[in-house]
Amino acid sequence: MTFSVRPLTIDDCDELVALRLEALRNDPGMFASSYEDALKRTKKDWQDLLVHGGTRCFGLYDVKKPIGLVSTYIKKDDATNATAGIGMLYIQPEYRGRGLARQLFEQCVSWSMKQHSLKKLVVACRHDNEASRRVIEGSGFVFTHRASRLWPDNVTCDEMWYALDLERLRPAS
């Protein structure tokens, strides 16, 4: 099998919507948002994710078949705009366990490194999501803190937060 990762464009909007809805439907407790909330988004809302300069979505493909996605975005809660986050990580179940999530993370790190105003990349996952924790830690992210939260599947569980220091990764000038 030939797998590839590429940035999604406005022409990929239907693929983005289909994968995101599939992710939220299949794994409702693993994401910060719910399937019901995603259904309320308009076509323009989805398209804005693909054209907004502070967000980059990537698709994972098995040849031409979309099988996964991830997004990187400038965090709005950082007034300095120096922090980006990773979200929406999803790979169809039959493709999991092959190291493909690491490829998606590499794209997010690469994009973030090119945004020279960014100093830090953060990601969070549910405490009981061992597979995500392994990918995050294996990608060089360092645990920063945990916080209890109510997830969309109505389970209260800790959210584990990790950070990657982008300035440390950049070559000295």
Q: Return the minimum-mean-pLDDT range out of 10-24, 52-66, 82-96.
A: 52-66
Residue 140 Cα distances to 72, 137, 148, angstroms: 16, 5, 24
Quote the DSSP letter at residue 170.
Answer: S
Is 152 within 8 Å of 33 (Cβ atoms)? Answer: yes
Euclidean distance between CA atoms 94 and 101, whole angstroms: 13
Euclidean distance between CA atoms 145 and 126, whole angstroms: 12
* Average of per-residue pLDDT across 11-36: 94
Is 40 within 8 Å of 58 (Cβ atoms)? Answer: no
Domain of residue 46: give its range: 3-169
* Cα 34 off chain centre by: 15
Question: At residue 20, does pLDDT exceed 90?
Answer: yes
* Average of per-residue pLDDT across 86-91: 96
Residue 43: predicted pLDDT: 93
Q: What CATH number has the domain bearing residue 70? A: 3.40.630.30
Alpha-helical (H) ranges within 27-54 are 35-39, 43-51
